Amino acid sequence: MVTPPDAHDDEHNPLTTKDGWRQFVDALAGALNALAEEKRLPCNEPRLDYHSRLVIVATLSVRNVFTTGRRLVLLNRHQISGRRGLIVTGQAGTGKTTAIAPLNRA
């Protein structure tokens, strides 16, 4: 595991700015490259795993779909007929699938 470098100047270049982020990433890449190969290679798999699990930003729509959907899942639990459904509509690529995906785990 590579820890964030202490050298990052968070006070003048916070991570929320492009310069701060660039400084942080450069310092982190430097720390990673400074590791011997046998220590660096085992970092790759967890890193790829992390990046393939993209974060879902909890927008208002995502939260609404999730709370409504979870309520419906609970109400439908013992329903054999007359199950309640949910229709999510919106323009192409606006996050409909992303919003309903967490319901698989609810």
Shortest Cβ contact with Mg ion: which residue? 97
Cα–Cα distance, 84 to 73 (Å, whole number): 8
Q: Beta strands of the chain (E only): which ranges?
A: none
Pull the structure tokens for residue 58.
């909890």
Alpha carbon distance 42, 35 (integer Å): 11
Binding footprint of Mg ion on the chain (CB under 5 A): 96-97
Binding partner at 98 among ligand ATP, Mg ion, none, C-beta below 5 to 8 Å by kind: ligand ATP
Q: Is 60 in the site for ligand ATP (CB under 6 A)?
A: no
From the CB of 10, what's the least distance to ligand ATP, in Å? 25
Site for ligand ATP contains 2 (CB under 6 A): no
